[in-house]
Structure 1
Amino acid sequence: MNEEKKSGRIFDWVILKRLYRFVRPYQGRFYLVVFLILLAALLAPVTPLLIRYTIDNEIANGNYQGLTLMLLVMVVVLVLQAVLQFSNTYLSGWLGQHVIRDIRIQLYHKILHLRLKFFDNTPIGRLVTRTISDIETLADVFTEGMAAIAGDILQLILIVAVMFWTDWRMAAISLSMIPLMLLSTYVFKEKIKDSFNEVRTAVSNLNSFVQEHITGMSIVQIFGSEKIESEKFSAINNQHRKAHIRSIWYYSVYFPVADVIAAAGTGLVVWYGAREILQQEVTFGTVTAFIMFINLFFRPIRMLADRFNTLQMGIVSTDRILKLLDSDEFTANNGTYQPETLRGEVEFKNVWFAYNNEEYVLRDISFKVNEGETVAFVGATGAGKSSIINLLSRFYDINKGHIYVDGVDIHEYELGALRRDISVVLQDVFLFSDTIENNITLGDPTISREKLAEAAKLVGVDEFIERLPGGYAYNVMERGSTLSVGQRQLISFVRAMVHDPKIIVLDEATSSVDTETEEMIQDAIGKLMKGRTAIVIAHRLSTIQKANKIIVVDKGRIVEQGTHEELLQQEGAYANLYRMQYKEMV
């Protein structure tokens, strides 16, 4: 949560330099935006000077032809300023959207390649904030950030220089209110910065809460916790509301105060200028120009406070995004070995593994699965069975020991090459809000409809799919909510088969299906396992009795291994599990 509250420095040149790397592909437009902003700043003092000249020379002398000419010149200047403003707004917005598109793609690519441990430790809502809200903040950096600030500062410098060049005494009177304006701007900037940080923290908390509770809505409703969760959401939402209202309050106070200070400056100019006009020390045109100068001077000052906060929030957001992009802690070390295919031999050798520090969930695990064999793991919940298969696919990295596939350490494999030949069917099936076909192929263009239909037929679900509206084009909705648990399980089994793996992993793959569906899957398993290595984790011992080897895991250690008959004869842990599950048959 500390990083959510970090305010950041306004000019963090290291971060700005990193951000410029994303601008580099569009540097032509970037420099064009900078040039146009600076040109607009240069034109800002021109209009008051033209009006001063027109009043003192053309109007005072009754030169209507000259007056007409000057009006045309002013119209040209105003049109040019309007064109510059349009160009700045459009080009800076165009630049910002292209840059954040590139950053968002890179960030999402990074997230796709992070290890599961990262997602265990990071709220999803925070990742949503990084990928959407924080990156959106960067767009404002280009529309109201460095270039705009530089333009405002240049405009202030030019206006002050022109004011003193025109009449230093009136310039001093005009600028006498600057200390009050700077003080109020500084106070506003600090207050609004804190409120913005509170808003961003509240947004992140809202994202996390809503995502988590919508995903777990079934639990909320099963236990009748709607009122409790509603109250929790109201509390978080109130924090968000209060933070926003606080920022609105600061804006509501600051801009009227700034207007009053600017009006006071104008009043001083009118009072002093009127006196000087009566004494014929200054002209009416000069006083009119100074009134315009004051408006041109105080407007950028009012905007600078907002722009500085925008830039500061952009720096904070960029810092968070870059930290995620730079993070190597949760990025799996990728090897280079890319065999065309795997044979399917798996060996664990003295493997130790802990999710957190030294709290080992696997202790000195050693076993070997020969090519084409079926090995089953059994044991109580939390014994470490699922951890074993997570390590095989390198979803997590081991602490000690070695894991070999076809005699090669898995760290030497290119991750894509390793996982390409390992298909996993999990107990908790996840389906995307998409068609059945895309959920099975996962968008792989090399998988034809014929191959898809063949795999579905092998599992025995082709008729069930064809009966759905649209068949393989049927949208299963979010998490497959329109399908039963058993149907989702079967779809995931087809998904594993269609990728034609050399190693198939079944993690409680039949625990959520009825007896008839289980028999269907067992028949398909027999066809699928032919010529492939299979690792099966199951509570139902009936599904693994024909395995070449059964390994019993207890508290992270292998306590027994052998065939079904051998383990029953040992009268150990497996025999106890068997009797407990089939005691009515003993």
Structure 2
Amino acid sequence: MKKFSTLKRVYTFFNGYKRSLLIALFLVILSTAIAMAMPLIFRHLLDQAIPSKDLSQIITIGILFLLATVASSLCSYSEQLLVGNMGFEIINQLKIKLLKHILTLPLNFFDKNGAGRLISRIDSDTQQLFMLFSSVSLELLGAALNVVVAIIIMFSISSKYALMAIPMIPFFIFFSVLFFGRLRKMYKHDRKLYANISAFLGEHLGAIPLLQKLAALEWSKKKFQQVNDEKTKFAQTIFLREYAIFFAFRIIPELIIALVIYRGASDIKANVISIGTIWMFIDYLRMATEPLFRLSEQIGQLQRGVSSADRLFEILDTRPEVDNEKNITPHSYQSYNSYQHQPYQFKEKIEFKNVSFAHTPTRPTLTDLSFSINKNEIVAIVGPTGHGKSTIFSLLCRFYNVDAGEILIDGKNLQEIHLSSWRKIVGLFWQEIKLFPGNVLDNLKVLRQDIPDCQVHQITSDLGITSIIENFEKGFATSLLENGGNISSGEKQLLSLARSMVFGPDILLLDEATSAIDPQTEQMIQAALDKILPGKTAIIIAHRLSTIARADKIIVIKDGKVVEQGTHHELMTANADYANLYHSQNHRKEVICSF
């Protein structure tokens, strides 16, 4: 039942192509009618024209046969061309629909689905559906018409010979459904293994420099060989099973044809039936069995397509990231500029009130976390690695929703604020830097056309990095490779920092803003931040405690809880967790300097 419900959903994509389908259907019927007439023409040639030695009749039948062949081929060609183009258009629309939907999905979806697997869904699985949208559907119809018309004609001429073919038809249908039904699960697993290869290549090709540095290329090769071998062996198993079925389906019609020839020889000798009629029966048997054989192949393709469709619908059925009003998604399949909500007017404070959150149920990340941040305050969050600091940023950006408690913005639950309006006032500088192929200016504007160039230049000037950008080959017009592969790590971090500020956010979330930067650049960034941060609400995650000593408030996180908060002086006086972290960092510096 699930397969039929999947097919029902698949064929909704044909909406808007009814005219093309009707034309293609007419061409299929016309092609079938012409093909069905050809054995009758050939029988007349064998039984009457040739024995009578009527040359003009032989030539006329030959020309008629040639015209019928050309007409049938033209009908088939036109139908395939029409439906093929329709298939390309539907697949293109489906890919766009998938990508647009994926862009609206929450971050936890991407935690479970890597880029390689999603690429496999959008590219490979949609291509598997191409046959359904192009040839399979009408070939199934053509096969059914061939079988029905051939049987009717055979019965009208000789029920004795027609009955020889009848038992074969339910055999084909029953075993096709049985065998390919069992293979459907294998096809689905095969697509999963293919997605694993795509995911592996996406992850490892992007990490080649790291693999080289770690001398782990051999490990990567062996790992790929394991993944590839698993896919290859499974594909070979499917191949052997398919062709064992195809062999059986091929040999059985030939045995029936041999039986017709054997029985026909004695009937011809007894003048019960003509040579042309026996030849016609053989033609009709082939016309009835060849579509059945193609049908068995198409059922295999159909099962592959259905397996791919199941995987695609799993994505399309995943609930998008929903805003609070009328279930509007924040992107709404529209461009950023067409979304009408104005930026949220942040007035007073941000408050985490008894917030709990866990990425996995067995490992809570934050537990009963409470603190507040006033507008225009510069607040630092510190603590050991892996204790929930970056998760606070994820919750503030609403990449995830809290499991318990609430985040209040001016006393209003964050989940009640329009997501797009909220994100328009939050600038995020993340540890994981992502730069897109394109020039520097487009990367700083995040490809947004509503941000004027002068605004970008002003921010880079305030940050003091304009001179660095102008030293690039073509300045702001310099083309960047994927993920900024042609600039240094420090330069990437500078560009990412500028990008987080370019649209004038009221709230800045800075996750290790000065990591991976040399001391001179760090001083320059720190001076720029000193100019930009006043008048803004800034939350800074820092491991270098010396960089946040002047913060208005420092919040110490440990095991997902607030264990201390206050100014640098207050926390040093308390001589607890923060002081221990601060002294341990200074001690490490002294040890390093001693070398």
The two structures share one fold, judged by TM-score above 0.5: yes
Check whether the contact 2:105–2:318 (CA below 8 A) recurs between aligned residues.
Answer: no
Q: Structure 2 counterpart of 1:578, which letter?
A: Y
Gaps of 5+ in 1: 1-8
Q: Is the counterpart of residue 432 in structure 1 residue 423 in structure 2?
A: no
Q: Structure 2 counterpart of 1:209, which letter?
A: F
Alignment partner of 1:552 out of 552, 556, 560: 556
Gaps of 5+ in 2: 327-340, 591-595
1:161 is matched with which residue? 152
In structure 2, distance between residues paired with 1:186 and 1:403: 55
Alignment partner of 1:561 out of 551, 562, 565: 565
Alignment partner of 1:532 out of 525, 529, 536: 536
Q: Structure 2 counterpart of 1:517, which letter?
A: T
Kindly tell me: are residues 73 and 187 of structure 1, through their superposed partners in 2, closer, same or farther at Cα, counting changes over 3 Å?
same
2:106 is matched with which residue? 115
2:68 is matched with which residue? 77
Check whether the contact 2:187–2:307 (CA below 8 A) recurs between aligned residues.
Answer: no
Q: Could you tell me how far 1:238 is from its partner in structure 2? A: 1.6
Kindly tell me: are residues 161 and 366 of structure 1, through their superposed partners in 2, closer, same or farther at Cα, counting changes over 3 Å?
same
Q: Structure 2 counterpart of 1:427, which letter?
A: Q
Check whether the contact 1:378–1:537 (CA below 8 A) recurs between aligned residues.
Answer: yes
User: Per-residue CA shift, 1:101-126, capped at 9, x if unaligned?
Assistant: 22222222222222222222234433
Q: Structure 2 counterpart of 1:390, which letter?
A: S
In structure 2, distance between residues paired with 1:554 and 1:189: 56
1:367 is matched with which residue? 371
Structure 2 SS opposite 1:488 = helix
In structure 1, distance between residues paired with 2:309 and 2:423: 33
Check whether the contact 1:152–1:304 (CA below 8 A) recurs between aligned residues.
Answer: yes
User: Per-residue CA shift, 1:522-568, capped at 9, x if unaligned?
Assistant: 12212322322111111112222222211111111112222222222
Alignment partner of 2:355 out of 327, 344, 351: 351
Check whether the contact 1:567–1:574 (CA below 8 A) recurs between aligned residues.
Answer: yes
2:274 is matched with which residue? 283
Kindly tell me: are residues 382 and 201 of structure 1, through their superposed partners in 2, closer, same or farther at Cα, counting changes over 3 Å?
closer
Q: Is the counterpart of residue 334 in structure 1 residue 323 in structure 2?
A: yes
Q: Which moved more, 1:503-512 or 1:542-551?
A: 542-551
1:571 is matched with which residue? 575
In structure 2, distance between residues paired with 1:176 and 1:361: 66
Structure 2 SS opposite 1:363 = strand
Check whether the contact 1:350–1:364 (CA below 8 A) recurs between aligned residues.
Answer: yes
In structure 2, distance between residues paired with 1:109 and 1:194: 28
Q: Structure 2 counterpart of 1:421, which letter?
A: I
Q: Structure 2 counterpart of 1:398, which letter?
A: V
Q: Could you tell me how far 1:460 is from its partner in structure 2? A: 2.0
Kindly tell me: are residues 266 and 446 of structure 1, through their superposed partners in 2, closer, same or farther at Cα, counting changes over 3 Å?
same
In structure 1, distance between residues paired with 2:409 and 2:422: 9
User: Per-residue CA shift, 1:9-43, capped at 9, x if unaligned?
Assistant: 7x823222222222213232233333333333333
Kindly tell me: are residues 142 and 26 of structure 1, through their superposed partners in 2, closer, same or farther at Cα, counting changes over 3 Å?
same
Q: Is the counterpart of residue 135 in structure 1 residue 139 in structure 2?
A: no
In structure 1, distance between residues paired with 2:412 and 2:25: 55
In structure 2, distance between residues paired with 1:42 and 1:333: 54
Alignment partner of 1:504 out of 488, 505, 508: 508
Kindly tell me: are residues 34 and 442 of structure 1, through their superposed partners in 2, closer, same or farther at Cα, counting changes over 3 Å?
farther
Q: Is the counterpart of residue 243 in structure 1 residue 231 in structure 2?
A: no
1:411 is matched with which residue? 415
In structure 2, distance between residues paired with 1:132 and 1:123: 14
**Matches for 1:448-463 after TM superposition, within 5 Å:** 448-463=452-467
1:231 is matched with which residue? 222
1:19 is matched with which residue? 10
Check whether the contact 2:355–2:407 (CA below 8 A) recurs between aligned residues.
Answer: yes
In structure 1, distance between residues paired with 2:157 and 2:222: 64
Q: Is the counterpart of residue 382 in structure 1 residue 382 in structure 2?
A: no
Q: Is the counterpart of residue 95 in structure 1 residue 98 in structure 2?
A: no
Q: Structure 1 counterpart of 2:584, which letter?
A: M
Q: Could you tell me how far 1:63 is from its partner in structure 2? A: 3.9
Check whether the contact 2:35–2:69 (CA below 8 A) recurs between aligned residues.
Answer: no
Check whether the contact 1:425–1:505 (CA below 8 A) recurs between aligned residues.
Answer: yes
In structure 2, distance between residues paired with 1:242 and 1:126: 20
Alignment partner of 2:22 out of 3, 15, 31: 31
Kindly tell me: are residues 377 and 315 of structure 1, through their superposed partners in 2, closer, same or farther at Cα, counting changes over 3 Å?
same
Q: Is the counterpart of residue 392 in structure 1 residue 396 in structure 2?
A: yes
Structure 1 SS opposite 2:15 = helix
Q: Structure 1 counterpart of 2:345, which letter?
A: L
Structure 2 SS opposite 1:45 = helix
Check whether the contact 1:510–1:518 (CA below 8 A) recurs between aligned residues.
Answer: yes
Structure 2 SS opposite 1:486 = helix
Q: Could you tell me how far 1:435 is from its partner in structure 2? A: 2.3
In structure 2, distance between residues paired with 1:322 and 1:258: 33
Q: Could you tell me how far 1:190 is from its partner in structure 2? A: 6.2
In structure 1, distance between residues paired with 2:171 and 2:15: 40
Q: Structure 2 counterpart of 1:334, which letter?
A: D
Alignment partner of 2:481 out of 477, 480, 484: 477
Q: Structure 1 counterpart of 2:16, which letter?
A: P
Q: Which moved more, 1:52-61 or 1:293-302?
A: 52-61
2:330 is matched with which residue? none
In structure 2, distance between residues paired with 1:194 and 1:398: 37
In structure 1, distance between residues paired with 2:161 and 2:75: 30
1:464 is matched with which residue? 468
In structure 1, distance between residues paired with 2:103 and 2:212: 32
Q: Could you tell me how far 1:570 is from its partner in structure 2? A: 2.3
In structure 2, distance between residues paired with 1:204 and 1:451: 42
In structure 2, distance between residues paired with 1:413 and 1:18: 35
Kindly tell me: are residues 557 and 176 of structure 1, through their superposed partners in 2, closer, same or farther at Cα, counting changes over 3 Å?
closer
In structure 2, distance between residues paired with 1:412 and 1:291: 74
2:520 is matched with which residue? 516
Q: Which moved more, 1:418-427 or 1:263-272?
A: 263-272
Q: Structure 1 counterpart of 2:513, which letter?
A: A
1:5 is matched with which residue? none
Q: Could you tell me how far 1:392 is from its partner in structure 2? A: 0.4
Q: Could you tell me how far 1:253 is from its partner in structure 2? A: 4.7
Structure 1 SS opposite 2:111 = helix
Q: Could you tell me how far 1:416 is from its partner in structure 2? A: 2.0
Check whether the contact 2:191–2:308 (CA below 8 A) recurs between aligned residues.
Answer: no
Q: Structure 1 counterpart of 2:480, which letter?
A: V
Structure 2 SS opposite 1:170 = helix
User: Per-residue CA shift, 1:228-266, capped at 9, x if unaligned?
Assistant: 332222122122222333344445555555444333333
Q: Could you tell me how far 1:176 is from its partner in structure 2? A: 6.6
In structure 2, distance between residues paired with 1:177 and 1:397: 60
Structure 1 SS opposite 2:367 = strand
User: Per-residue CA shift, 1:81-140, capped at 9, x if unaligned?
Assistant: 112211222222222222222222222222222222222223443322222221111111
Kindly tell me: are residues 194 and 341 of structure 1, through their superposed partners in 2, closer, same or farther at Cα, counting changes over 3 Å?
closer
In structure 1, distance between residues paired with 2:298 and 2:479: 46
In structure 2, distance between residues paired with 1:355 and 1:61: 88
In structure 2, distance between residues paired with 1:191 and 1:404: 54
2:285 is matched with which residue? 294
Q: Structure 2 counterpart of 1:349, which letter?
A: K
Q: Structure 2 counterpart of 1:361, which letter?
A: T
Kindly tell me: are residues 222 and 550 of structure 1, through their superposed partners in 2, closer, same or farther at Cα, counting changes over 3 Å?
same
Q: Could you tell me how far 1:464 is from its partner in structure 2? A: 2.0
Kindly tell me: are residues 514 and 255 of structure 1, through their superposed partners in 2, closer, same or farther at Cα, counting changes over 3 Å?
same
User: Per-residue CA shift, 1:476-511, capped at 9, x if unaligned?
Assistant: 222222221111100101111212111111001112
Structure 1 SS opposite 2:393 = helix
Kindly tell me: are residues 184 and 343 of structure 1, through their superposed partners in 2, closer, same or farther at Cα, counting changes over 3 Å?
closer
Structure 2 SS opposite 1:349 = strand
Q: Structure 2 counterpart of 1:343, which letter?
A: F
2:137 is matched with which residue? 146
In structure 2, distance between residues paired with 1:182 and 1:576: 76
